[in-house]
């Protein structure tokens, strides 16, 4: 009876691997592939979402528009403070003695309606400054118009009350220089209206200071 022989099978070392080691190796291969992809495409590592990209694209033109508007406003403000040169031409007719002005420049002279060649005098102006003067005066005229409307209503009412006092419409004195000087005028306002003593400062009649 032969003794039993032990039989040994030689397996290559690189094939000796249990299941756990095989899974770990597979994971390492996957990880290496991901690293290789990131190296090949570095710009795609952190790709922004489509919504954030759209918002950034919309914000860029808006910011540019705002910057351009601010620059335009600054330029407009500076231009509004700069003088605006212009020319005004005064016209004088030696025959009629009339004076007029015009903005039209004529190189070959002009004739008045009477047939006389008019004299011309050019005046260099700052159009913006002259426009400012005109605007101030128009505002003051508007204020005067309101004041004059109030004064018209005031003196029309006063004339009506004087008629009631007299029982009929009284006839005013003749407007001679002597008579006007003798009138009981207490004040002449800035527009030339006469305030009589009867209407002037009624508070003083009750012991109150003006």
DSSP H or E segment with residue 88: strand 85-92
Q: What is the pLDDT of residue 66?
A: 66
Does any domain span residue 118?
yes
| Nearest-10 Cα torsion for 35, 40, 43, 44 | -60
Residue 160 resides in a domain: no
With a cut of 50, which residues of the chain have pLDDT below it? 1-22, 24-25, 27-32, 35, 39-41, 44-46, 48, 53-54, 56-57
Determine the pLDDT at residue 80: 77
Q: DSSP letter at 202? A: G
What is the structure's pLDDT at 35? 45
Whether residue 33 lies inside any domain: the answer is: no
Residues 72-110 pLDDT 10s: 555 666 777 899 999 999 999 999 999 999 999 998 899
When divided into structural domains, the chain yields a total of 2
Tokens 């002279």 sit at which residue?
109
Residue where the block lists tokens 């109150």? 208
- Close Cβ partners of 155 (under 8 Å, ≥ 6 residues apart): 193
Percentage of the chain lying above the pLDDT 70 cut: 62
196 in Cβ contact with 161 (< 8 Å): no
Q: Give the count of alpha carbons within 13 A of 62, CB side only.
A: 6
Is residue 53 domain-resident? no
Note the pLDDT of residue 201. Answer: 93
Identify whether 200 is part of a domain: yes
Q: What is the pTM of this model?
A: 0.55
* Domain boundaries, position 199: 176-210
């Amino acid at each position: 009876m032969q003794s039993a022989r032990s039989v040994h099978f030689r397996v290559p070392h690189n094939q000796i691997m249990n299941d756990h080691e095989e899974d770990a190796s597979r994971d390492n291969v996957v990880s290496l592939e991901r690293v290789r992809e990131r190296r090949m495409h570095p710009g795609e590592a952190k790709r922004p979402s489509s919504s954030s990209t759209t918002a950034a694209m919309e914000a860029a033109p808006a910011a540019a528009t705002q910057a351009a508007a601010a620059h335009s406003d600054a330029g407009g403000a500076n231009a509004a403070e700069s003088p605006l040169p212009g020319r005004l031409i005064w016209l004088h007719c030696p025959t009629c003695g009339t004076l007029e002005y015009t903005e039209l420049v004529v190189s070959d002279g002009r004739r008045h309606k009477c047939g006389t060649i008019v004299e011309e005098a050019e005046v260099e102006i700052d159009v913006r400054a002259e426009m400012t003067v005109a605007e101030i005066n128009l505002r003051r005229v508007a204020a005067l118009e309101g004041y004059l409307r109030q004064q018209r209503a005031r003196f029309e009412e006063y004339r009506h009350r004087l008629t009631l006092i007299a029982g009929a419409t009284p006839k005013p004195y003749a407007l001679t220089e002597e008579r006007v000087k003798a009138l009981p005028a207490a004040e002449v306002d800035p527009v030339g209206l006469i305030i009589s003593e009867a209407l002037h400062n009624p508070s003083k009649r009750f012991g109150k200071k003006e």
